[in-house]
Chains A and B, each alone.
Chain A
């Protein structure tokens, strides 16, 4: 109980550290604001006056104008609406793939670290083998076996990029396993899965959150690359990556179609990475304090 209480006050202090670092870092504040806006736009898109699907052949390739802020595409659809709807898909893939990959990674990492022995050996061998196939190759190959589309892209990214998280979580679990309160719980006969859920996962949570924030960034990058290659999101649905694939064909006369989705990808990934870095202060308080005597 004392351990828990101490952890609580320690966590409060750590959260304060993160908040104070956030206050001093204008770029981090900007990142946070940007993400809030982008996520709000994505969530609220259906109730906003946006129409991504009405075609208007008389208004193809309109450059940005007061009527169409970001112009129109090859069949006259309002490009701003398309980009916002594309963002819905990109962010959805990012979040769901990240959740899948964190779940698999945490499961494998905690079980492997906690059980040890042959379970650990086998799981870690699997991690080794899966990480020895270049991700680009692996992900594209797997996309062969699934019908291309939203669901399969989430599965592909989620189930084949969890290895790094599993390694991180395993390492932390190994050291947590030696702490008194875990040893005590084990000693009084609390079953393994309860210990993992109640003691180990809460303690590795900060690591998981950081991994999740860079995980979203990576998932969005992977999705856009795959969609750009035509292996990801398929028509009529579109994401930022597939919008760019489409824009590639019309680059000569409509470069604005390539600028906006690309810029949004860059800013979104940058913002998620930036916030992930900031959260590191929570896990490694030493980053904050300088050296003393």
Chain B
């Protein structure tokens, strides 16, 4: 491994290369992820950004091994802490979940078993992986609840999920994830179902846990605004492919891919002070049952040329950390903008 990389961004935790996931639904093939590559380093907060249907959730579930039986996943490599997950049996992968890496979900209201006490949810995970007796597990559970900022955890432990608010339930789930001190937490739109003020608290909590618990986080979201202050790296996903990846600053201040650019135009930017029209991206996400041959964004892209529609472009490496999947370089895109020639297609 590259010495330089080790010192700068920490050890490589997870490498995913060219992962593809397809579903068989009533004898039709649905291609949800079409060859995505991401990596997570120790201490990273990686944001995976994309619209709904872009395949970001499926990608994470594929990594976790959480997909239903009608799904099939292949990858060139899927390595977690030096271990090749592709060689693991389903049961071996199950035993890693919750212990080596954990995942929390979008809707905390339905994520807990309504008939089980909060305490039981936590102690079950604790006793599964750490040889604790009931009393020790209970103490650990109280500790975990305290860490995620739930007041009077001793009392809360004996309550049922319906006695908790949405934000509190998401905290409980995060506490469950903390139980076995996994190195990686995948959070699938953890704040989408919550009030705005609660959203900020949960995001703050995730950041705090990264610092205190030395836990890397993959944050899935459709909202670039949410990740700006939190993540250090961003992967932009569209049509089952990673369109662009880079450090947060690179993505925000030097976006290279037309889709990333369009996404950034679609969020309000009060900080720049520039009065810009908020732009919607025209068109719809590509079909998953019959995906386009070329770049999935070509159909909606104002720079697209014939080549874009016929083959999936290769990544172009811009810096050591940033690359984008587009036939045009940044300069070419800027030039087209200047000429006002929005359409790269030849007449």
| A190 nearest CB across to chain B (Å) | 36
Verify if B210 is at the interface (C-beta below 8 Å from A).
no
Q: Could you tell me if A293 and B58 are in contact, using CB atoms closer than 8 angstroms?
A: yes
Chain B residues with CB below 8 A from A292, complex form: 23, 25, 30, 32, 53, 288
Q: Could you tell me if B26 and A288 are in contact, using CB atoms closer than 8 angstroms?
A: yes
| B253 nearest CB across to chain A (Å) | 30
Verify if A291 is at the interface (C-beta below 8 Å from B).
yes
| A291 nearest CB across to chain B (Å) | 7
Chain B residues with CB below 8 A from A290, complex form: 23, 25-26, 68, 70
Verify if A289 is at the interface (C-beta below 8 Å from B).
yes
Among B38-90, those with CB < 8 Å from A are 52-58, 68, 70
CA distance A293 to B54 in the complex (A): 8
Identify which of B25, B27, B52, B58 contacts A289 (C-beta below 8 A): B25
Q: Could you tell me if B32 and A293 are in contact, using CB atoms closer than 8 angstroms?
A: yes
Chain A, residues 255-293, CB within 8 Å of chain B (1/0): the string is 000000000000000000000000000000000111111
Q: Can you name the residue of chain A whose Cβ is closest to the Cβ of B288?
A: A292
CA distance A291 to B68 in the complex (A): 9
Q: Could you tell me if A293 and B57 are in contact, using CB atoms closer than 8 angstroms?
A: yes
CA distance A293 to B27 in the complex (A): 18
Which of A20, A288, A290: most chain B CB closer than 10 A?
A290
Q: Can you name the residue of chain A whose Cβ is closest to the Cβ of B53?
A: A293
Which of A290, A291, A293: most chain B CB closer than 10 A?
A293
Chain B, residues 1-41, CB within 8 Å of chain A (1/0): the string is 00000000000000000000001011100101000000000
Q: Can you name the residue of chain B whose Cβ is closest to the Cβ of A21?
A: B26
Is the contact region of chain B dominated by helix, strand, or loop, or is it mixed?
A: loop
Chain A residues with CB below 8 A from B25, complex form: 289-290, 292
A-B interface contact total, Cβ < 8 Å:
26
| B179 nearest CB across to chain A (Å) | 28
CA distance A288 to B52 in the complex (A): 21
Q: Could you tell me if B26 and A293 are in contact, using CB atoms closer than 8 angstroms?
A: no
CA distance A20 to B25 in the complex (A): 13
CA distance A20 to B26 in the complex (A): 10
CA distance A20 to B27 in the complex (A): 11
CA distance A291 to B53 in the complex (A): 12
Chain A residues with CB below 8 A from B27, complex form: 24
Among A1-51, those with CB < 8 Å from B are 20, 24
CA distance A289 to B58 in the complex (A): 16
CA distance A289 to B52 in the complex (A): 17
Chain B residues with CB below 8 A from A289, complex form: 25-26
CA distance A271 to B23 in the complex (A): 32
CA distance A288 to B25 in the complex (A): 9
Q: Can you name the residue of chain A whose Cβ is closest to the Cβ of B26?
A: A288
CA distance A293 to B55 in the complex (A): 6
Chain B residues with CB below 8 A from A288, complex form: 26
Q: Can you name the residue of chain A whose Cβ is closest to the Cβ of B68?
A: A291
CA distance A292 to B23 in the complex (A): 8
CA distance A290 to B57 in the complex (A): 16
Chain A, residues 150-179, CB within 8 Å of chain B (1/0): the string is 000000000000000000000000000000
Q: Can you name the residue of chain A whose Cβ is closest to the Cβ of B27?
A: A24
Q: Can you name the residue of chain A whose Cβ is closest to the Cβ of B23?
A: A290
Chain A residues with CB below 8 A from B26, complex form: 20, 24, 288-290
Among B302-329, those with CB < 8 Å from A are none
CA distance A288 to B27 in the complex (A): 11
Q: Could you tell me if A293 and B70 are in contact, using CB atoms closer than 8 angstroms?
A: no
| A292 nearest CB across to chain B (Å) | 7
| B63 nearest CB across to chain A (Å) | 14
Chain A residues with CB below 8 A from B70, complex form: 290
CA distance A54 to B170 in the complex (A): 79
CA distance A290 to B29 in the complex (A): 12
CA distance A289 to B70 in the complex (A): 12
CA distance A20 to B32 in the complex (A): 24
Chain B residues with CB below 8 A from A293, complex form: 32, 52-58
CA distance A293 to B48 in the complex (A): 14
CA distance A2 to B76 in the complex (A): 49
Chain A residues with CB below 8 A from B30, complex form: 292
CA distance A288 to B26 in the complex (A): 8
Chain A residues with CB below 8 A from B54, complex form: 293
Chain A residues with CB below 8 A from B52, complex form: 293
CA distance A195 to B57 in the complex (A): 44
| B25 nearest CB across to chain A (Å) | 4
| A167 nearest CB across to chain B (Å) | 26
Chain A, residues 121-144, CB within 8 Å of chain B (1/0): the string is 000000000000000000000000
Chain B, residues 84-119, CB within 8 Å of chain A (1/0): the string is 000000000000000000000000000000000000
Among A199-251, those with CB < 8 Å from B are none
Residues of B within 8 A of A (CB): 23, 25-27, 30, 32, 52-58, 68, 70, 288
8 cross-chain CB contacts under 8 A: A24-B26, A288-B26, A289-B25, A290-B26, A290-B70, A293-B52, A293-B56, A293-B58
Residues of A within 8 A of B (CB): 20, 24, 288-293
Given A289-B25, A291-B68, A293-B54; 7 other pairs, CB 8 A cutoff: A20-B26, A24-B26, A289-B26, A290-B70, A292-B30, A292-B288, A293-B57
Query: Which are the 3 A-B pairs with shortest beta-carbon distances?
Result: A290-B25, A293-B57, A293-B58
